[in-house]
Amino acid sequence: MNKEPGGTPAMSRRRITTGVLAATFVVALLGTLLWTRQEDERATSPSTATASSVESLPTSTTRDTRDEVVERLRQILRVRDKAFRERNAGILRDLYTIDCPCLEGDRNAIRELTENNYHVVGGATSVRVRRVERVTDRSWLVIADFQSAPLRIEAEDNRLIREEPAGSDLFQFALSKPTGSQEWLLGQATAYRDRSG
């Protein structure tokens, strides 16, 4: 196996970076809809309001929920950034649905950071929301530019291990509020192709 200076396998370093950057979402989450959306759709009749009909008939409740979902996504990203900075995978459990591939991917990346005694410097993530769609009362989709600041992965002695520039990619985030949960949880994030132009 190829090794980079410092004795760490090159493949291992790529996994660390992938776990930290937006690429984590692409690699970890290959699918189209989160499980709660499928369950909710089975329980909901076809005559229930769709995303397009909600847009045409906005209510204060819908707007309030929309704002709540967007703010929760931003909060999830802030806590996720903190988990990587502090190398604390324990705080991730309240961010994702239990079947979200992000959870395992992020935990593995943090484990590698800890095992190699590496630290993340920078790399804060944020979203610039383009569209929010209601799927059901407990499932929403957010189409947004996922932005990451420049980041460095450093060894304990501040030696540079890897550096990544700032980046931005268009993503679709699926958030749901599973039965028994008081919070919106991230169930999926996938690369999104904007077909509007």
In a domain, 197, yes or no: no
Structure tokens at 62: 């819908």
| Structural domain of 187 | 10-191
In a domain, 48, yes or no: yes
In a domain, 154, yes or no: yes
The tens digit of pLDDT for each residue in 112-144 reads 999 999 999 999 999 999 999 999 999 999 999
Cα 100–chain centre separation: 9
Closest CA to 121 of 93, 88, 156, 147: 156
Return the CATH number at 45. Answer: 3.10.450.50
Closest CA to 189 of 32, 70, 35: 32
C-alpha distances (whole Å) from 7 to each of 104, 116, 119, 123 are: 25, 10, 17, 24
Decide if pLDDT at 23 tops 90.
Answer: no
Q: How many domains does the chain have?
A: 1
In a domain, 5, yes or no: no
Q: Can you tell me the mean pLDDT for 163-192? A: 95
Q: Can you tell me the mean pLDDT for 184-194? A: 91
Decide if pLDDT at 25 tops 90.
Answer: no
In a domain, 169, yes or no: yes
Structure tokens at 133: 């769609």
In a domain, 2, yes or no: no
The tens digit of pLDDT for each residue in 31-85 reads 222 332 333 333 333 333 334 333 444 556 789 999 999 999 999 999 999 999 9
What is the pLDDT, as a whole number, of residue 61?
A: 77
What is the pLDDT, as a whole number, of residue 111?
A: 97
What is the pLDDT, as a whole number, of residue 196?
A: 60
In a domain, 145, yes or no: yes
What is the pLDDT, as a whole number, of residue 195?
A: 63
Amino acid code (one letter) for 74: R
What is the pLDDT, as a whole number, of residue 62?
A: 86
